Chain A
């Protein structure tokens, strides 16, 4: 048992480290190193512009989408090399947040299901940061039950005509392409009537509207489709096979080993170490210590769980299911920590101004944003179902709509 690299891993790490050291945009280091919970903002620059420049540089140096095959803009790197790269890229990895959906989900789906032409046309540009992709799956009435989506695709000659609405699309407003799942046959059960496409987001009839979120921010979009034309050559997989295709996308979403989610623990530890209560520092209070310790061991537990997965990759093995607990644990923890930090601030905890003396409204912002951590990318409840069914082998839910034609499924609760 050790934390050491193998000689090959160490050599790879050295190469990566040298390259990052010589090429990273160090002018942003201080800003990126500050703890950030959620979306990154730069004071004087647009993250998308800076991100594109960094992605391009990485592509030129052979460090973009490095686990992809070389002919599609990658490096043909092994999974462990990808993890080592992420460790060495460090905080600069935050810059390329706008590309994560393309690199992690859309790209792999095109790679698995696209024609050779589509792969050669689109993947290298995605890898090089020249084109940004978004994912158009969720709908207002199809979130956890994404297979219940209603956006229609109807065949007309060699084209498909799209009508409907998507929601919670990150980056739709700056994306060049989108991965779209739509219903091509409403007369069969819901999973069987879906088909996957990709489209140019500048197509006529595509309208992107920002969503004002519960935390007051605007990070996601609604996307409306009115008679949008998609050529049949932009279909991924067979007609009616969209559900299987989407599983490729979603499986890749959960493969992000090595990228650690924010837990709020370092911020909370720092806060309690400095906060003066009536009887002394918060961190000397037994009740505070008890809570801090419980959160700290969850946080370290997640860290060492990811180390176990990395060790499997290092041995060339498929990691076990352990890593599936990450978002479930960290999402709830962020919310609990924010609530408790505010409780410790007493009446002043209600104030959200960034000039407030204690922590510049940090925990207040965390409180308001944390519900999304427990919903986006699989709700806590869906994640528990996944653990129960795929890890523990418990039966799936009884699905009352399984064999019912989609257009016969009730649409209203009452």
Chain B
């Protein structure tokens, strides 16, 4: 059994960590947090130069043609660093959707531009409240144009193009949904930035008015493509969450060692030690579930839906748990703007919603487990 990343993949992780430690310090993250820039353009450029944006994109489209395991180790480091860039929207969602369903021309147009950092992509799925479901999609596609409103759209205000889920049928079934590719700079879309929990990652409202769009994948296949995209993104996001959880745990541990109260290191009190031990437990469970997700993703296994849901649930819970208790370990200082704890708290809770909330993934997991048990 070799249920671990290879030495080369671990080396890539070290390389990514080194790069992000230099280029994505908490100080750099704060430039975006404080609203002085919509995202870290220099970092984005650097990620492109390092080849990280195209690590899982085939060579024929300008990528490194490595694979999803390589992308997983980079994702973990992006999460650790709380990177204020549209990595998940562009790489896990838009690029994966293109890889799954794009025509050769579509791939040629957008993938090399993603790899080079010129194009930012996103997925426009949600329309207000609710989880991913064909029933929740009202935005209509007819005659090659889209009409409707998407919100929230992650990184929507800075994206060059979007994969848009639209209604092409009249019912609430999977087959009533199709995907479209929209060049957001070509007119027909009104973009409005929305304030959100995690200002290091923008959210926007996109209003489509007779907006020209080209189909992505076959008509009526939108929901099944989308499900596959979400499963892949769930695994990749889980690695970001695992990275964030680990970093929050480390911050808490370090502070517990440094801070003196009642004449002792606060990390010598069992109340604090046990809180940190429980964080370690969550983070470890999440990491192991995510490794299984990585295996399923990289081998295109039929277990992917179940593995992705387990990774998603476990990593969401772990990041929220670690980020929350990291503040608690820091006490009052953890509640200041000046300390970095809240950046992870914000990111953990924003990420928990980005691909659909826990209840969506719980449903996915239980449905799959049931099918497996019945078989």
The residue among A293, A305, A328, A393 with the most chain B CB atoms within 10 A of its own CB is: A293
Residues in B with CB closer than 8 Å to A307 are: 1, 3, 288
- A1–B297 Cα gap in the complex (Å)? 11
Decide if B285 touches A1 in the complex (CB within 8 Å): no
The residue among A328, A385, A388 with the most chain B CB atoms within 10 A of its own CB is: A388
Decide if B2 touches A2 in the complex (CB within 8 Å): yes
- B298 interfacial by beta-carbon distance below 8 Å: yes
- A397 interfacial by beta-carbon distance below 8 Å: yes
Residues in B with CB closer than 8 Å to A9 are: 1
Beyond contacts A1-B295, A391-B280: 15 other A-B pairs, Cβ-Cβ < 8 A, are: A1-B4, A2-B295, A4-B1, A289-B363, A292-B362, A297-B310, A297-B317, A300-B289, A300-B292, A305-B284, A307-B288, A325-B285, A381-B274, A385-B273, A394-B265
Decide if B310 touches A300 in the complex (CB within 8 Å): yes
Chain A, interface SS category: helix
Decide if B362 touches A388 in the complex (CB within 8 Å): no
1/0 contact string of A280-318 vs chain B (CB within 8 Å) = 000100100110111011101111110110111011000
- A398 interfacial by beta-carbon distance below 8 Å: yes
- A273–B371 Cα gap in the complex (Å)? 11
Closest-CB distance, B15 to chain A (whole angstroms): 19
Listed from nearest, the 5 A-B pairs whose CB atoms lie closest are A301-B285, A388-B273, A304-B288, A293-B362, A384-B277
Nearest opposing residue in chain A for B293, CB measure: A304
Residues in A with CB closer than 8 Å to B272 are: 394
- A394–B280 Cα gap in the complex (Å)? 13
- B147 interfacial by beta-carbon distance below 8 Å: no
23 example contacts (A-B, Cβ-Cβ < 8 A) are as follows A1-B295, A2-B1, A2-B2, A2-B3, A269-B369, A269-B373, A289-B362, A290-B359, A292-B362, A300-B310, A304-B288, A304-B289, A308-B4, A308-B288, A314-B1, A325-B280, A329-B281, A384-B277, A388-B274, A392-B276, A392-B277, A394-B257, A395-B257
A interface vs B, CB < 8 Å?
1-5, 9, 269-270, 273, 283, 286, 289-290, 292-294, 296-298, 300-305, 307-308, 310-312, 314-315, 322, 325, 328-329, 381, 383-385, 387-389, 391-398
- B358 interfacial by beta-carbon distance below 8 Å: yes
Decide if B289 touches A297 in the complex (CB within 8 Å): yes
Nearest opposing residue in chain B for A313, CB measure: B1
Contact of A304 among B3, B365, B373 (CB under 8 A): B3
Residues in A with CB closer than 8 Å to B276 are: 388, 392, 394
Decide if B3 touches A397 in the complex (CB within 8 Å): no
Decide if A392 touches B291 in the complex (CB within 8 Å): no
Residues in A with CB closer than 8 Å to B363 are: 289
Decide if A398 touches B284 in the complex (CB within 8 Å): no
Decide if B285 touches A329 in the complex (CB within 8 Å): yes
Nearest opposing residue in chain A for B274, CB measure: A384
Contacts A297-B285, A297-B314, A388-B276 given: A394-B256 contact, CB under 8 Å? yes
Nearest opposing residue in chain B for A309, CB measure: B3
Residues in B with CB closer than 8 Å to A393 are: 253, 257
Decide if A297 touches B2 in the complex (CB within 8 Å): no
Total A-B pairs, Cβ < 8 A? 162
- B218 interfacial by beta-carbon distance below 8 Å: no
Contacts A1-B291, A3-B3 given: A387-B359 contact, CB under 8 Å? no
Decide if B281 touches A394 in the complex (CB within 8 Å): no
Decide if A322 touches B288 in the complex (CB within 8 Å): yes
- B93 interfacial by beta-carbon distance below 8 Å: no
Contacts A3-B3, A296-B369 given: A397-B268 contact, CB under 8 Å? yes
Contact of A387 among B281, B362, B373 (CB under 8 A): B281
Nearest opposing residue in chain A for B292, CB measure: A304
Residues in B with CB closer than 8 Å to A1 are: 2-6, 69, 291, 294-295, 298
- A304–B295 Cα gap in the complex (Å)? 11
Decide if B362 touches A394 in the complex (CB within 8 Å): no
The residue among B6, B276, B281, B358 with the most chain A CB atoms within 10 A of its own CB is: B281
- A5–B1 Cα gap in the complex (Å)? 5
Residues in A with CB closer than 8 Å to B100 are: none
Contact of B267 among A294, A301, A381, A395 (CB under 8 A): A395
- A312–B69 Cα gap in the complex (Å)? 18
Residues in B with CB closer than 8 Å to A293 are: 309, 313, 358, 361-362, 365-366
Decide if B273 touches A305 in the complex (CB within 8 Å): no
- A302–B288 Cα gap in the complex (Å)? 8
Closest-CB distance, A202 to chain B (whole angstroms): 43
Residues in B with CB closer than 8 Å to A396 are: 268
- B108 interfacial by beta-carbon distance below 8 Å: no
Residues in B with CB closer than 8 Å to A385 are: 270, 273-274, 277
The residue among B3, B309, B313, B363 with the most chain A CB atoms within 10 A of its own CB is: B3
Residues in A with CB closer than 8 Å to B69 are: 1
- B41 interfacial by beta-carbon distance below 8 Å: no
Contacts A297-B314, A392-B276 given: A273-B373 contact, CB under 8 Å? yes
- B348 interfacial by beta-carbon distance below 8 Å: no
Decide if A395 touches B3 in the complex (CB within 8 Å): no
Residues in B with CB closer than 8 Å to A297 are: 285, 289, 310, 313-314, 317, 365
Residues in B with CB closer than 8 Å to A388 are: 267, 273-274, 276-277
Nearest opposing residue in chain B for A317, CB measure: B4
Nearest opposing residue in chain B for A284, CB measure: B366
- A308–B4 Cα gap in the complex (Å)? 7
Contacts A384-B278, A393-B253 given: A325-B284 contact, CB under 8 Å? yes
Decide if B2 touches A4 in the complex (CB within 8 Å): yes
- B36 interfacial by beta-carbon distance below 8 Å: no
Nearest opposing residue in chain B for A385, CB measure: B273
- B74 interfacial by beta-carbon distance below 8 Å: no
Decide if A3 touches B1 in the complex (CB within 8 Å): yes
Closest-CB distance, B163 to chain A (whole angstroms): 28
Decide if B253 touches A394 in the complex (CB within 8 Å): yes
- B109 interfacial by beta-carbon distance below 8 Å: no
Decide if B1 touches A302 in the complex (CB within 8 Å): no
Closest-CB distance, A333 to chain B (whole angstroms): 11
Contact of B284 among A3, A290, A301, A383 (CB under 8 A): A301
- A398–B264 Cα gap in the complex (Å)? 9
Closest-CB distance, A395 to chain B (whole angstroms): 4
Contacts A4-B1, A388-B273 given: A283-B359 contact, CB under 8 Å? no
- A267–B272 Cα gap in the complex (Å)? 34
Closest-CB distance, A44 to chain B (whole angstroms): 31
Residues in A with CB closer than 8 Å to B123 are: none
- A290–B317 Cα gap in the complex (Å)? 12
Closest-CB distance, B333 to chain A (whole angstroms): 19
Residues in A with CB closer than 8 Å to B75 are: none
- B129 interfacial by beta-carbon distance below 8 Å: no
1/0 contact string of B62-92 vs chain A (CB within 8 Å) = 0000000100000000000000000000000
The residue among A325, A385, A393, A397 with the most chain B CB atoms within 10 A of its own CB is: A325
Decide if B270 touches A325 in the complex (CB within 8 Å): no
Decide if B286 touches A301 in the complex (CB within 8 Å): yes
- B370 interfacial by beta-carbon distance below 8 Å: yes
Decide if A296 touches B2 in the complex (CB within 8 Å): no
Decide if B281 touches A325 in the complex (CB within 8 Å): yes
Decide if B268 touches A310 in the complex (CB within 8 Å): no
Decide if A298 touches B288 in the complex (CB within 8 Å): no
